[in-house]
Amino acid sequence: MKEFKVTPIRNGTVIDHIQVGMALKVLRIVGVKDDVNSTVSVLMHVPSKMAGWKDIVKIEDRELDPKELDRIALISPDATINIIRDYNVAEKFVVTVPERIVGIMKCSNPGCITNKNEPVEPEFVVETKKPITLRCVYCDRVTTDISENVV
């Protein structure tokens, strides 16, 4: 009998092809904390045909909202989302990096006005998608260190 390291889930979301090492950041993005009532499985450093190694996160009884998907796209642009309903893959898609990033990342420039106590959401224009570089709409600073600044 084949041994499963992690069993299939009935309902929920499988985030596959996460850039290796980013699984814990994905957990932070989807807000897995003490108050979660269902099972969350994390696989790190799994062999991958595409990228050599990858991470996988499985969240039972949860589907992700668009802002969560945007955040995942920023830290792992090749991640695929599998929405599972009754053990079947109901939807499958690769995350997409939006053209404009609003309110999901802070500016890496400590001198930027958006890092002060002002009532604005940080906003970025995507300059390049591979690798992802973002330019702050306010201070023009270009950020490549995305995972450190995703909120």
Partner 1 sequence: MDIVSIRDFSREQIEHVLDVAEGMLPVARGDEKSKLLDGKVLGSLFYEPSTRTRLSFDAAMARLGGRTLGFDEPKGSSVAKGETLADTIRMVDAYCDVIVLRHPQEGAARLAGHFASKPVLNAGDGAGQHPTQTMLDLFTIRKSKGKIGGNHVVIVGDLKYGRTVHSLSEALAMFGAQLTFVAPPTLQMPKEHLKHIQSMGSKPKSSSDLAEAVKDADVLYVTRIQKERFPDPAEYQKVAGAYTIDPALLKDAKSDLTIMHPLPRVNEISPEVDKTPHAKYFEQAFNGVPVRMALLAMVLGAVE
Per CB under 8 A, the list member of 85, 92, 93, 140 interacting with partner 1 is: 140
Short-list 95, 111, 114, 112, CA closest to 103: 114
Q: Which residues of 105-120 are buried (b: 16+ CB within 10 A; e: fewer)?
A: bbbbbeebebbeeeee
| CB of residue 66 to partner 1, shortest distance in Å | 23
* Phi and psi torsions of 143, nearest 5°: -115, 130
The piece of 11-19, 67-75, 78-86, 105-113 that touches partner 1 (CB under 8 A) is: 105-113
Residues 104, 89: Cα–Cα separation, whole Å: 28
Task: Indicate whether 28 belongs to the interface with partner 1 (CB under 8 A).
Answer: no
Residues 17, 37: Cα–Cα separation, whole Å: 25
Task: Indicate whether 37 belongs to the interface with partner 1 (CB under 8 A).
Answer: no
Of the two residues 24 and 120, which places its CB atom closer to partner 1 in the complex? 120
Task: Indicate whether 121 belongs to the interface with partner 1 (CB under 8 A).
Answer: no
Task: Indicate whether 119 belongs to the interface with partner 1 (CB under 8 A).
Answer: yes
Of the two residues 79 and 124, which places its CB atom closer to partner 1 in the complex? 124
Residues 47, 81: Cα–Cα separation, whole Å: 18
- Which residues contribute to the site for partner 1 (CB under 8 A)? 107, 109, 111-114, 116-120, 136-142
